[in-house]
A = this chain, B = another copy of it.
């Protein structure tokens, strides 16, 4: 154990005990840290630290000297937050798909605000009149039924906080060289919200289901009529027709006025603008399930119907593109989630995986939801490689990148050409910190 990393020179309070190091290169036990003073203001006063306050500290800004702005019926964020946006793959709305990625490095907690939830749409965002929209359930049912939004609102509803992730999230990690991209570019196709709606099983109680039924085909009302096949077993488990997102009606890009929600399953299956569920014996082999979301393996074969988003984590702060402001104490913070249930633990390394310390998990830890993890770190100004690794309650562990590509393959040259494999990457992400504080994406 590095004695210098084990101790903060506490000039201000020499009686305090040494901070307990839990892993190499400066990872500190959070419980030991809290209640003892993190001492940014004391002897560690390099980099960004609070300054001694004096009389000059209480001068008024211009906003303290005038009446402020009017209160709006629906409030929007500060103009000073204009840089906090989703990055767009198709800003001019050309006739192809459009990605909008969540800026995880600028957010906190487990909730993705509705304005910044990731979206992918394949024919633009339809402006659906909710009073005219209908959901039809037909096929192998006893009684085909048509539901309006008002009808659906009469049924018992449920809420759950759950993440949604595109099967192609983190696809840049298949590159043979680490792409110099932000956490938003690498992992921005996952978000988390509280969804409320009607369980699909409740509606199937209404229509009845033929015992021969094994699949359902869900179809959207957008112009591509995107459709995906879903096992009836999932539909009867925790599938929901979602009507609300973080308390208000769904955002237009997230499926307004209703979408299929399949907690833990790849995003594309959670069909938006849902207008039809046909109950059938065999999957439809629609384009998105037979082509786009097939995973090509190194031997040329492909996984068929690989739905689950597996256990994953990444550090959002610090991350690629940031610059640490000098040696001192930092909080490493990131997100973990698993389509198989609750996150059990997250380990963090500052030395590229040589040693690991257990991160604090923010309560409540919910099944198939974002779990924020945090770990205090004393950066000594030397090189560091930051990683996080998550375990879920089902016993799954997030693989290293080497473990992952050994099974799933790797691209022969860097994207962005359309290339395979590009699906369901859940490997560990590594951020390299240089002595000048710059943070870069690295493979380690």
A residues engaging B (CB < 8 A)?
Answer: 12, 30, 33-42, 47-54, 57-58, 60-61, 63-81, 84-88, 90-93, 95, 98-100, 106-117, 119, 121, 123-134, 136-138, 143-148, 150-151, 154-159, 161, 194-196, 199, 201-202, 205-207, 221-223, 225, 243-244, 246-249, 251-254, 256-257, 273, 275-276, 328-331, 333, 362, 364, 366, 372, 374, 376
Contacts and interface: CB of A to CB of B under 8 A. Distances in A.
Given A249-B77, A249-B84, A144 B53 contact: yes
B151 A50 contact: yes
Contacts of A256: 77-78, 80
Contact of A247 (B64, B116, B221, B329): B116
A243 B108 contact: yes
Given A69-B124, A78-B256, A154-B331, A206 B53 contact: no
Contacts of A125: 68-71
B116 A74 contact: yes
Given A48-B154, A124-B69, A151-B48, A38 B144 contact: no
Give the dominant DSSP class at A's interface: loop
A40 B151 contact: yes
Contacts of A112: 247
Given A331-B155, A362-B159, A124 B70 contact: yes
B49 A71 contact: no
A156 to B, nearest CB: 5
Given A38-B206, A109-B247, 4 more contacts: A37-B206, A50-B147, A64-B223, A110-B159
Contacts of A90: 70-71
Given A154-B330, A205-B37, A223-B65, A75 B100 contact: yes
A199 to B, nearest CB: 8
A53 B80 CA distance: 50
Contacts of A130: 78, 80
B157 A34 contact: no
A308 to B, nearest CB: 22
5 contacts: A52-B145, A70-B98, A73-B87, A77-B252, A78-B128
Of A74, A90, A155, most B-chain CB atoms within 10 Å = A74
B71 A98 contact: yes
Contacts of A222: 63-64, 68
